[in-house]
Amino acid sequence: MSPLTSYRRLLALAGPRYVVIAFLGRLPLAMSQLGTLLLVSDATGRYTAGGLAAGALAVANAVGAPMAGALADRVGQRPVVLAQSLAAGVALAVLVAAVQAGASTPALVASAAVAGLTMPQVGPLARTRWRPITHRAGAHQRRLVDAAFSYEGAADEASFVLGPALVGLGAVLLSPSGALLAAASLLMVFGSWFALHPTARLAHTLRPAADHGTGRLVTAAFLALALAQLLIGMIFGATQTGTTALATAEGRPGLAGLVHALLGVGSVLAGLATAALPERFGYQRRILVFSGALMMLSTPLLLVGSLAALVPAVLVLGLAVAPYMISVFAAAEHLVPPYRVGAAMTVLAGATGIGYAIGSGVAGRLADLGGHRPAFAVTVTAATVALVAAAVRARGTTERGAETPAVTTRGALAATSRD
């Protein structure tokens, strides 16, 4: 089955409306961090205050996402995502009101943290719906699920390109407050629509009466995947910081966001193409290969000395990002029991957010000391650690051995449901 055929089949199974809703529902998360930064910085006149508020939103979301994912696994996505969408929409509106009322910086940071804590992770939760959506595909199901994860990876990357662009456009045409209120409106409409969509019921798999310990989420194998996502988050944060440092040094700080967005452009294209990979090219091998690509393609960042030279380097680096992330998420989906997939996907998303905070923080400190090259050195270091970790995993287990626990668990659950 060709990638194009797979995507057409997925579109027919889920319906075009669902695909649009799930994409628009994830945009507010991509919009809220930059929107908060612009809003608070503009109101207070201090980037430090804006950075604290945006950072609080990101960290709170990374902490809250796994808890919401675990709850969604237990009671279903519909009530959890609906409550989150409405609560986060209100929280963003409260943040705007607090800014307009001249609230103190601690109050603004706390408001941003509440918004982040309640913000739903639509992208990771959308991944959990594809296996039940494709359950009637028979022998083609794994191929379709792989294609679905390829699409989801590309959609996530596209949202983090489009989201900040919409914030920038909204800030210019309306105001920073208007841009963040637009994100709140999108979340309340499309986040709620995503929660109420019929596919939400398909994602709720009941825990079997006797799972004999198969339901554990925190295993050595899963922690290795969480580390992989933390490292890719560090790559995002450090690359963005290095790009900003270089653009500022050239006197064109406004171009930093545009140049960094090219990382997402390359990633989207590569993510869609990942569906063409053969099934025999297993997930652990993919993680190993693409982590090697991350290291090799990030190394040229150490050599760039201008934005013009940075553009192709960032664009090419993006070609390894989505395939790496898609492989990690797909490996996790096969590793954990079906009734823990929501928690697994949101834990990985949270690890990415924490990695972003670490990468941007460390790279920012180094950039203050030595400019863009030390910041980009954090990118290369994170990619190198990702390769080493992948090599250790590959040496310690075969691809068949890595996937056997997931297959065994799914078989046990199928047997339990038949009984």
- Rounded CA gap, 102 and 108, in Å? 9
Q: Are 8 and 147 in contact (CB under 8 A)?
A: no
Amino acid at 177: S
- Residue ending a domain, among 183, 204, 225, is 204
Q: Is the pLDDT of residue 15 over 70?
A: yes
Q: Are residues 251 and 199 in the same domain?
A: no
Amino acid at 218: V
Q: Are residues 178 and 300 in the same domain?
A: no
Q: Are residues 162 and 147 in the same domain?
A: yes
The predicted structure's pLDDT at residue 412: 37
Q: Are residues 193 and 234 in the same domain?
A: no
For the residues of 211-263, what is the DSSP string, one character each? -TTTT----HHHHHHHHHHHHHHHHHHHHHHHHHHHHHHTT-GGGHHHHHHHH
Q: Are residues 57 and 156 in the same domain?
A: yes
CATH number, residue 291: 1.20.1250.20
Q: Are residues 144 and 221 in the same domain?
A: no
Q: Are residues 57 and 39 in the same domain?
A: yes
Quick one: pLDDT band at residue 404, thresholds 50, 70, 90? Answer: very low
Structural domains in the chain (count) = 2
Q: Are residues 127 and 236 in the same domain?
A: no
Q: Are 399 and 284 in contact (CB under 8 A)?
A: yes
- Residue ending a domain, among 178, 204, 230, is 204
Name the residue among 372, 251, 405, 360 with its Cα closest to residue 300. Answer: 372
- Rounded CA gap, 200 and 204, in Å? 7
List, for residues 261-316, the tens digit of each pLDDT value.
Answer: 788 888 888 888 887 887 788 888 899 999 999 999 999 999 998 989 999 999 99
Give 20's contacts (C-beta < 8 A, 6+ positions apart).
none
Q: Are residues 120 and 268 in the same domain?
A: no
Range of the domain at 396: 206-419
Q: Are residues 198 and 219 in the same domain?
A: no
For the segment 33-52, the average pLDDT, to the nearest whole number, is 78
Using only C-alpha atoms, the chain has a radius of gyration, in whole angstroms, of 21
For the residues of 82-151, what is the DSSP string, one character each? HHHHHHHHHHHHHHHHHHHTT--HHHHHHHHHHHHHH---HHHHHHHHHHHHTGGGGGGHHHHHHHHHHH
List, for residues 319-330, the tens digit of each pLDDT value.
Answer: 999 899 989 988
- Write down the pTM of the prediction: 0.79
List, for residues 101-159, the tens digit of each pLDDT value.
Answer: 988 989 999 999 999 999 998 988 888 888 888 887 766 777 788 888 888 888 888 88
- Least confidently predicted of 369-378, 392-401, 409-418: 409-418
Q: Are residues 161 and 245 in the same domain?
A: no
The predicted structure's pLDDT at residue 34: 76
The predicted structure's pLDDT at residue 185: 94
The predicted structure's pLDDT at residue 87: 95
Q: Is the pLDDT of residue 212 over 50?
A: no
Tell me the CA distances in angstroms from 328 to 221, 274, 366, 390, one per residue in order.
11, 13, 29, 11
**H or E segment to which residue 42 belongs:** helix 16-44
- Residue ending a domain, among 204, 229, 245, is 204
Q: Is the pLDDT of residue 28 over 70?
A: yes
Q: Are residues 213 and 176 in the same domain?
A: no
